[in-house]
Amino acid sequence: MKFYNLHTHKFTNNPNVFELVNQYPWEFDAAILQYSIGIHPWYINENRLTSDLQIIEEKLKLSECLALGECGLDKRIDIPIALQIEVFEKQITLAEKYQKPLVLHLVAAFDELIEIKKRLNISVPLIIHGFSKSEQLAKQLIDNGFCLSFGKYLLRNKEMETVFKSIPNDRFFLETDTINETLEEVYEIAASCKGITVAELQKLVEVNWKRVIG
């Protein structure tokens, strides 16, 4: 049974791993087999925004492009939040047009995210990658229709084990992002948190993947 990696910046081409590799439009690599593509809020560049969005739209038409992202909001950077929201909403429009899920980077802007989801009546799946917050916030996001992906913080913050255990089995994914640890290590601790075997966890994630990612 395969391992599924919801978000990684490292293309391994491991036959045992189905990995969603993060790509940016300004440095697209056609050799990557399955990917997401989007404008991260850290890297918004107004001078190339039009061309970045055009490239994203071109790739969303392709079957190997499985999601739009990572994109989102980050209130701890210098880029004005109004500009971030503008760019984010343009990407949401594209995701809706091509019916591709969104992989989200969110820092200190969860209220804004929930407001945008409700205001735009977003229909495609929304997955917050690298979740590291409280059980209370996790429940609020789950109640508002989001999925959550876990990786680095599950490995490095003991308190996240309780948060992960509380997530419904049909609403989570696992990832490596940029960490040096393997995906198998993430699965091992996640399975331990849930009190199941790694194989049972793989099956859960596979079902979620096929339902949400396709």
Give the chain's domains with CATH numbers: 3-212 (3.20.20.140)
Confidence class for position 143, pLDDT limits 50, 70, 90: very high
**Residues contributing to the annotated binding site:** 70, 105, 129, 177
Give the residue-averaged pLDDT of 66-90. 98
Q: How far apart are the first and last CA of the chain?
A: 17
- Are 127 and 152 in contact by the 8 Å Cβ rule? The answer is no
Give the residue-averaged pLDDT of 3-11. 97
Instruction: Mark out the alpha helices in the chain (DSSP H runs).
Output: 49-60, 81-98, 110-120, 135-143, 152-156, 160-166, 183-194, 198-212
Q: Note the pLDDT of residue 89.
A: 98
**Residue showing tokens 């109004």:** 82
Q: What is the pLDDT of residues 9-63, one digit of tens each?
A: 999 999 999 999 999 999 999 999 999 999 999 999 999 999 999 999 999 999 9
Q: Note the pLDDT of residue 108.
A: 97
| DSSP 8-state class, residue 27 | G
DSSP bridge partners of 177: 8
Q: Note the pLDDT of residue 146.
A: 98
Q: What are the CB-based long-range contacts (under 8 Å, 24+) for 133-142?
A: 133/163, 134/163, 135/162, 135/163, 135/166, 137/110, 138/163, 138/166, 138/167, 139/166, 140/110, 140/114, 141/110, 141/114, 142/167, 142/168, 142/171
**Residues contributing to the annotated binding site for a divalent metal cation:** 70, 105, 129, 177
Q: Note the pLDDT of residue 14.
A: 94
For residue 123, give the amino acid letter: S
Residues 6+ apart with CB under 8 A from 144: 114, 117, 118
Q: Note the pLDDT of residue 72.
A: 98
**Residue showing tokens 């059980």:** 135
Q: Note the pLDDT of residue 60.
A: 98
- Round the average pLDDT of the chain to a whole number and report it: 98
Q: Note the pLDDT of residue 17.
A: 97
- Are 95 and 123 in contact by the 8 Å Cβ rule? The answer is no
Q: What is the pLDDT of residues 169-192, one digit of tens each?
A: 999 999 999 999 999 999 999 999
Q: Rounded CA gap, 60 and 186, in Å?
A: 29
Q: Note the pLDDT of residue 10.
A: 96
Give the residue-averaged pLDDT of 60-78. 98
Confidence class for position 150, pLDDT limits 50, 70, 90: very high
